[in-house]
Amino acid sequence: MTRYSRQTRMLVAVDCIIFGFDGQDLKLLLIKRGFDPEKGKWSLMGGFVQPEEALDAAAVRTLNKLTGLDGVYMEQLAAFGTPQRDPMERTLSVAYFALIDINLYKQQLSDEYKAEWFSLRDIPKLIFDHADMVHEAQARLRYKAAIHPILFELLPPKFTIPQLQILFEAVYDAGFDKRNFSRKVLSTGLLVKQKEKERASSKRGAFYYKLDKRKYSAKFHAFLNFVSDPGNLR
Amino acid sequence: MTRYSRQTRMLVAVDCIIFGFDGQDLKLLLIKRGFDPEKGKWSLMGGFVQPEEALDAAAVRTLNKLTGLDGVYMEQLAAFGTPQRDPMERTLSVAYFALIDINLYKQQLSDEYKAEWFSLRDIPKLIFDHADMVHEAQARLRYKAAIHPILFELLPPKFTIPQLQILFEAVYDAGFDKRNFSRKVLSTGLLVKQKEKERASSKRGAFYYKLDKRKYSAKFHAFLNFVSDPGNLR
DNA sequence: GCAAAAGTGTTATCACTACACCCATGG
DNA sequence: CCATGGGTGTAGTGATAACACTTTTGC
């Protein structure tokens, strides 16, 4: 077999927008870029797609290289391909966003990549078009979380309803009525009440809940309307 | 400036999933591929991204090359990058879907590309992973149209409510109650009733409506809930 | 015993569903 | 005058939003 003649080949990278939730704020995992151009600047974790590697596989590998985690929720966000986005050489980047339980990766941060969690309200200047990617990922997260039970991916296996509410409030930068909120999330039937209580954040203690995994898989793509019109918020 | 060493460059293409509506069925515009491999087989319209060209620009150019149309609604669908998707040479394709008023392109079909409209129920075998792209585009169209007023892009500037309903029914392969349907679309406030009637498809005639362009732009991203739970249909 | 957070119930409004009849016209 | 498709109204049901008080317990 021959090749397509007279066409330009270009580099293809993946970049990961990695969200976490520390119990108060929505956070983003950034690294200090380790090579030129823009060496030492804050950046999303990324990497080049390898010759025999699928895009999703490259994204999974890149996330794993930084965090050591597997089985993380990831979704393709979009392809970014402005000609001069990387001044060194034309590079197309396929952005993925990931939602991780921050507890699984908040220790050994100061390794080879100089990774740090940043509050989304306080993101440093980023290289290339990474700020655009972050904004688009945040918009997508708000959009999806309004309809689908996606934010559970940011929580540990056991969580309380007040914790869940704080998470929603962080994502939408808005307050919700706790009575309506708990009625709504419980009405999905996705949550299983535990006997144990979380006692760190209040005297009375709040009951833990776990996801009902069967129902969670079944209803993941259903329209659940957690937030009526996220476009009208803020 | 130097270049990134020891990384693979690859071809980057765009492919267009072009939807149209003929008054009865949802249709897809396909071409007969003009070069090897798979020459003469049915294919989506596509093309390679040029050295100094952005992705969106490549998609717009590709659509225009086939149809001669400008200002068409287009949206990036996803990047497809399985290593062997093009057996000739590794090629990443960024798929875009487009919604066009079929009346603007249903004549001069037998030109250089041998383009034809196919009903979505009756798509021929397609090259590479184009069938995957079509399925994903159809799913995305259903998803978006359930929430946003996107299907108007498939209609001519003046249309009747029965025509709109047939379109929704074609997209969701389902029947809707006409009283509830018209109440719902009129309640969005997006439609302006015309004095003129469409008289071809009934004796009584149905009033034409036009989009209120101001409100259409304003509400395009709002959550309008045209279809309550598209996942439960079919 | 009090401060702090958890938990719960009611009412009014709105949106959705299901359903059936009259209207205008061309033939 | 009748067949065809266009157009409209209502009642019942379920979801949403607004709102305040009681419970538990660590200090």
Pairing of strands A159-160, A206-211: antiparallel
Those residues of chain B whose CB sits closer than 8 Å to some CB in chain A are 1-4, 7-12, 37, 48-55, 76, 78-83, 87-92, 94, 146, 221-223, 228-232
Q: Is residue B1 part of a domain?
A: no
% of chain A at pLDDT higher than 90: 88
Domain of A66? 11-126
Q: Which of A72, A94, A126 is the last residue of a domain?
A: A126
Indicate whether B60 and B112 sit together in one domain: yes
Indicate whether A90 and A33 sit together in one domain: yes
Q: What is the mean pLDDT of residues A179-201?
A: 96
Indicate whether A23 and A109 sit together in one domain: yes
CATH number at residue B186: 1.10.10.10
Cα separation of B197 and B207, whole Å?
A: 4
Q: Is residue B227 part of a domain?
A: yes
Q: Is residue A137 part of a domain?
A: no
Indicate whether B66 and B166 sit together in one domain: no
User: What is the three-class DSSP state of A9?
Assistant: strand
A149 has pLDDT over 50: yes
Residues of A in Cβ contact (< 8 Å) with B53: 83
Give pLDDT < 70 ranges for chain B: 1-2, 109-110, 229-234
Tell me, what DSSP letter sits at residue B148? S
Cα separation of B13 and A111, whole Å?
A: 37
Q: Is residue A17 part of a domain?
A: yes
Residue B176 CB lies within 7 Å of the nucleic strand D = no
Indicate whether B195 and B110 sit together in one domain: no
Residue type, B175: G
pLDDT band for A1, please (50, 70, 90 cuts): low
Q: How much is the pLDDT for B234?
A: 39
Q: How much is the pLDDT for B18?
A: 98
Structure tokens at A234: 């803020």
Cα separation of A188 and A195, whole Å?
A: 20
Indicate whether B198 and B106 sit together in one domain: no
Those residues of chain A whose CB sits closer than 8 Å to some CB in chain B are 1-4, 7-12, 37, 48-55, 76, 78-83, 87-92, 94, 146, 221-223, 228-232
A76 C-beta neighbours (distance < 10 Å), count: 18
Residue A125 CB lies within 7 Å of the nucleic strand D = no
Residue carrying structure tokens 């294919």: B43
Give residue-wise pLDDT tens across range A98-118: 999 999 998 776 578 999 999
Q: How much is the pLDDT for B229?
A: 66
Nearest to A52 among B83, B89, B223 (CB): B83
Indicate whether B32 and B119 sit together in one domain: yes
Contact A116, A22 (CB under 8 A): no
Indicate whether A121 and A154 sit together in one domain: no
Structure tokens at B38: 């798979």
Number of domains into which chain B is organized: 2
Q: How much is the pLDDT for A159?
A: 98
Interchain proximity B90–A231, CB inside 8 Å: no
Residues with CB under 7 A from strand C: A 160-162, 178-180, 182-183, 197, 201-207; B 177-180, 183-184, 187, 199, 203-205, 225, 228
List bases, strand C, within 7 Å of protein CB.
Answer: 3-10, 15-20, 23-26
A185 has pLDDT over 60: yes
Residue carrying structure tokens 């719902």: B184
Q: How much is the pLDDT for A168?
A: 97
Residue type, B36: D
CA distance A101 to chain B (A): 26
Q: How much is the pLDDT for A232?
A: 54
Q: Is residue B225 part of a domain?
A: yes
CA distance A86 to chain B (A): 11
- Cis, bond preceding B37 (omega within 30 deg of 0): yes
Q: Is residue A6 part of a domain?
A: no
Contact B151, B165 (CB under 8 A): no
Indicate whether A106 and A186 sit together in one domain: no
Q: Which of B126, B160, B187 is the last residue of a domain?
A: B126
Cα separation of B199 and A111, whole Å?
A: 72
Indicate whether B52 and B111 sit together in one domain: yes
Q: Is residue A56 part of a domain?
A: yes
Beta partners for residue B225, in sequence order: none
- Nucleotide nearest residue A183, measured CA to C1': C8
A177 has pLDDT over 90: yes
Strands (DSSP E) along chain A, which ranges?
Answer: 9-21, 26-32, 42-43, 45-48, 73-80, 91-99, 116-119, 159-160, 191-198, 206-211
* Dihedral of alpha carbons B180, B185, B187, B192, sign: negative
Q: What is the mean pLDDT of residues A82-99?
A: 97
Tell me, what DSSP letter sits at residue B38? S
Query: Mutation test of the interface with chain A: which of B5, B55, B85, B142, choosing the one with the most A Cβ atoms within 10 A?
Result: B55
Residue type, B192: V
CA distances from B79 to A61, A135, B47 (A): 17, 19, 14
Nearest to B51 among A8, A230, A231 (CB): A8
Q: How much is the pLDDT for B1?
A: 54
Q: How much is the pLDDT for B134?
A: 98
A233 has pLDDT over 80: no
Q: What is the mean pLDDT of residues A56-82?
A: 97
Indicate whether A22 and A122 sit together in one domain: yes
List bases, strand D, within 7 Å of protein CB.
Answer: 3-10, 15-20, 23-26
Residue carrying structure tokens 């090629």: B91
Q: How much is the pLDDT for B233?
A: 47
User: What is the three-class DSSP state of B73?
Assistant: strand
Mention every residue, 6+ apart, whose C-beta is less than 8 A from residue A187. none
Residue A195 CB lies within 7 Å of the nucleic strand D = no
Q: Is residue B85 part of a domain?
A: yes
CATH number at residue B19: 3.90.79.10
